[in-house]
Amino acid sequence: MHPDPQRLEDISSIRDAMRQISLEAQAVVELLDARIEDEHLDGSTEAEDVRSVLELIQSLTLEASEDLDAYQERYSGS
């Protein structure tokens, strides 16, 4: 039995959101690594960079969580 196309699209969207969260986190880690390695630290810039990524991740997480709730309601029991 093959899952219906809508179910595949829904779970793929959730997977993509999780991938985006991971990529955003990895990007800021790499940025911080480079700044630490170069000893180019001023406190404010790092905080702004991390905070902006955290805010984006929070937004993506909320959206993914809502999508996951809808997915679970739609498909649990089928």
Q: Mean pLDDT by 10-residue block, N- to C-terminus, for the chain (78 residues)? A: 85 97 97 93 93 97 97 86
CA 22 vs CA 16, 70, 71, 72: distances in Å = 10, 22, 21, 22
Is 69 exposed, middle or buried, given 0-12, 13-18 or 19+ CB atoms closer than 10 A?
exposed
Q: What's the pLDDT score for residue 78?
A: 57
